[in-house]
Structure 1
């Protein structure tokens, strides 16, 4: 059943979906890691593909930039397409001093300055977290690959260009990196009783030099992609 944002029909999307923000990164993953690929969505340029990785069906689809965008796409995947697991494979800005460009960050939980969670009508402050099963599998794979990684909380911000920047405050409270989507993914997964994990590659750092180009962000995160795919086929 198609939606205003996704032309796929039931059965065209796998139970596990990798989601980069950039649809061209989705295309890169499909063309370089999957076999027997089929494009299931081109609506609004948000490319989606289903194929096989080491014999198991996996989908990959862009989610766009920001909490509202990923909120729409993941809600539809969880609730309309019977997707059970979503692994975000994105970029982030480093906050802590020991986090460097090209390091991998597993987002255990997500702080936010967004109002996205207000819709759920919860008293107090809801703390969205990753699904432990996905997190444990992915961390073990990263250890086997011998890549540098960090596990901890990230800041999901509503704004890229900020007039009042709270990043240093969150850094002092232990946040590893800042990005723009994880909190919506984790909240949608919690409400739908599904599984979610964000894996990030550090593309720049807010407090020291170093920054990747747009092309490097599109095609250069192969360690993260392989970790996500190897996690996917264990589910």
Structure 2
């Protein structure tokens, strides 16, 4: 039996439940549960291994799945690789939180990650003869921007930082990234974009500003799970 016919992994065991070709990927599994219960119809849970909840349902008549990915490039890369290569997912949309590092961003603002700079070494596995630029799939980015415009939701589109460091011993690191025009910091997008590019599928990250790092502003844990609804509603329209 080939790996593509296995249809389960040690981390995702759907027990025959379909995983849709389009999937929303919040880091927090409780955010996945909230989206499934709030927005989807005919919902069936397809995963609970390690409490990484995954669900499939319909939104406006279209099949769509949602699943948590955990924190950091290793976790996102593991789950997105399996979703792509084992379960045939074609459109992967990360919806997450970020820490703003530009003055024009405020709490609850929405960011579309057109590109994802990174301090991760994940790209080294591809043995590329140079530096690689991690970019979103234009088809998803274009559609997401159109949805946001139709909803009257302003968004920031640009480069984000996918960092392996939540607590960085180099206290000047984010200031340096900010000077290069990076909008915000998060921990997963670069790995997702690399997996998608290498497999020839589509990926996009949509973020909501949960913290402003330089202004020491932040939202609560509960708000991160349930209050970032504008981001969720844009992503759902991409199915």
TM-score range, shorter chain: over 0.9
Task: Give the structure 1 partner of residue 113 of structure 2.
Answer: 107
Unaligned segments of structure 1, at least 5 residues = none
Q: C-alpha root-mean-square deviation of aligned residues, in Å?
A: 0.9
How far 1:72 moved relative to its partner?
0.2
Q: Does 1:174 align with 2:181?
A: yes
- 2:76 alignment partner, one of 70, 73, 94: 70
Structure 1 residues 88-122: Cα deviation after superposition (integer angstroms, max 9, x where no partner): 00000001100111000000010000101111111
How far 1:11 moved relative to its partner?
6.0
Q: Does 1:93 align with 2:106?
A: no
How far 1:9 moved relative to its partner?
4.9
TM superposition score normalised by structure 1: 0.97
Structure 1 residues 38-63: Cα deviation after superposition (integer angstroms, max 9, x where no partner): 00000011000000000110000000
CA distance in 1, matches of 2:147, 2:220: 27
Mapped contact 2:17–2:46 kept (Cα < 8 A): no
Mapped contact 1:130–1:197 kept (Cα < 8 A): yes
Task: Give the structure 2 partner of residue 40 of structure 1.
Answer: 46
Q: Does 1:222 align with 2:191?
A: no
The total of aligned residue pairs comes to 232
Task: Give the structure 1 partner of residue 214 of structure 2.
Answer: 207
List, as ranges, runs of 4+ consecutive aligned residues in structure 1 with deviation greater than 6 Å.
none
Mapped contact 2:148–2:234 kept (Cα < 8 A): yes
CA distance in 2, matches of 1:86, 1:10: 21
Q: Does 1:84 align with 2:122?
A: no
How far 1:148 moved relative to its partner?
2.5
Mapped contact 2:41–2:58 kept (Cα < 8 A): yes
Unaligned segments of structure 2, at least 5 residues = 1-6
TM superposition score normalised by structure 2: 0.95
Structure 1 residues 109-143: Cα deviation after superposition (integer angstroms, max 9, x where no partner): 10000101111111211111000000000011111
Task: Give the structure 1 partner of residue 162 of structure 2.
Answer: 156
